Amino acid sequence: MSDIADEQDVAEEAVRLEIQLSAVRARLDHPLPSSASDRHPAFPPQALPSHSLLLLSDSALPLGSFAFSNGLESYLAHRPFSTNSKAASEAFPHFLTLALTTLAATTLPYLLAAHRCPKQLQNLDATLDACALCPVARRASVAQGKALLTLWERALRADAGDSPAALALGEFSVVLKRRPSPCDSDNELSGHFAPIWAAVTCATRIKLHESAYTFLLNHARAVVSAAVRASVMGPYAAQGMLASGWLRREIEDMMVRNWEVGVEDAAQGVPMCDLWVGRHELLYSRIFNS
């Protein structure tokens, strides 16, 4: 009886091995697709949203943007309606337009240039730093830029490949972390937000117009978020403003006006924004870093 049982076990084992071998051969003849877009014809790659763009547009992105009001707190404190929440809410769209205009006129050209030519990342960062007249705004830009560079190295770099933008970011990081020597002081880097954002989006294969639009929309969202925390408006009103056609048209118009503007023509179009941001540190009390 034991011999018969052993033969049955051997036969069953042989059948299992044959089944496994057939399965392996089938996988070799018909390899599994690498993604859901390959498995189903209804989801071609071009029909799916950019995974990297969704990550970079997330409000939970650890860049520290929530710590800055981008001049809103100082603007409210220097206006006659500083104690009137209704008047402040009505005036907020005007301030948001000024804030976006300032960003588009002074910073967007550097983003466009860095995305178009990532090899110029170091030169663009140095030029932007030399043209940053407001020290408070400069510190905010550098803080967010360095945070994005850290995020790139720790989370986004692995799947980016060896594109020119990825290589430029690697060289930039090495130079930024290197202790400057007395004879090399002219080549110090700061790590401004806009050029690094452009290089990261370029390295993650995000198109230029998507990169620019998301950059401006993220800035608008940061200002609106600061308005909620400053009790200018409620969360539902804030989401209504972000979803409005008015804001979408504002961003699109600013992109059109500055699309061909070079870094040599970038300039502050709203000087009062620099004054509001610069005077933030003089406020008696404040809840934001800038």
Mention the CATH class of domain 50-282. Answer: mainly alpha
Model-wide pTM > 0.75? yes
pLDDT value for 58:
85
Hey, what are 84's tokens? 């009137």
The DSSP output letter for 70 is T
- Taking the C-alpha atoms of residue 88 and residue 101, their distance in angstroms, rounded to an integer, is 20
Number of Cβ within 10 Å of residue 104's Cβ equals: 26
Per-residue pLDDT tens listing for the chain (290 residues): 555 556 666 666 766 666 666 666 655 655 545 555 555 555 566 667 788 888 888 888 888 777 777 777 777 776 765 555 666 677 889 889 999 999 999 999 999 999 999 999 999 999 999 998 888 888 889 999 999 999 999 988 887 778 899 999 999 999 998 866 555 555 578 999 999 999 999 999 999 999 999 999 999 999 899 888 888 889 999 999 999 999 999 999 999 999 999 999 988 888 887 777 776 666 666 666 65
**Residue 1 corresponds to which amino acid?**
M
Give the Cα-Cα-Cα angle 254, 142, 203 (nearest 5 degrees): 70
pLDDT value for 220:
94
Three-state secondary structure call for residue 271: helix
CA distances from residue 151 to 72, 86, 92 in whole angstroms, order as listed: 27, 39, 32
Identify whether the C-beta of residue 79 lies closer than 8 Å to the C-beta of residue 91. Answer: yes
Task: Provide φ and ψ at 165, rounded to 5°.
Answer: -70, -40
Identify whether the C-beta of residue 201 lies closer than 8 Å to the C-beta of residue 105. Answer: no
pLDDT value for 158:
82
**Which residue, 200, 208, 38, is CA-closest to 121?**
200
The DSSP output letter for 281 is G
pLDDT value for 117:
96
Q: String of b and e for 53-69 (b: at least 16 CB within 10 Å)?
A: beebbeeebebebeebb
- Taking the C-alpha atoms of residue 220 and residue 123, their distance in angstroms, rounded to an integer, is 27
pLDDT value for 211:
95
- Taking the C-alpha atoms of residue 236 and residue 201, their distance in angstroms, rounded to an integer, is 30
